[in-house]
Amino acid sequence: MHALHEAWRVLTPKGILIDLRPYNVDAPLEVSSKGMVESAGLVDTSMDSALDEAADKAVCTLLREGMIRELRSEYFDQSYYWTSIKGMLADIDERWKDDVVIPQVVLRRATLLYKKQPGRARLRLRFHTKLFVYEKL
């Protein structure tokens, strides 16, 4: 909450505050090739759920106190693509080491689907993402 109050403090009047973050606990891992998409299963992204709840609570407090007003809210899918299992695992380890968990059953299925696809198969991890725009009052 302190960080959000500080962000509000440094905003100019009518300044814009943007809340952009993944908004789910399970993200589908898919394998695509030549227009076909097959699901390998769901990846657990719930590690940040406590932080998400705290951020939502802080924003609600600012709204309730009349410090900001909501201008826009939108949800959309944001996808990440890889051309290999190895590359995907390395990237996830580098970017989201403690935030994204691929269950072994999902990784095995993704590997099988990837290997059976002819040509240039790609892996896709799809996050449901929220975008909220607020204005300082």
Q: What is the rounded (10 degree) CA torsion for 49, 60, 3, 129?
A: 50
Whole-structure pTM value: 0.80
pLDDT interval class at 9 (50, 70, 90): confident
Which residues constitute the domain of residue 118? 2-136
- Residue 66 carries which DSSP code? T
Total number of domains constituting the chain: 1
Give the Cα separation of 5 and 1 in Å (integer): 6
Q: Which H or E element spans position 83?
A: none
Per-residue model confidence as pLDDT tens digits over 26-37: 899 999 998 889
pLDDT interval class at 54 (50, 70, 90): confident
Give the Cα separation of 48 and 134 in Å (integer): 22
pLDDT interval class at 1 (50, 70, 90): low
What angle (nearest 5°) sits at the alpha carbon of residue 27, between those of residues 54 and 93? 85
Q: What are phi and psi of 20, to 5 degrees?
A: -130, 115
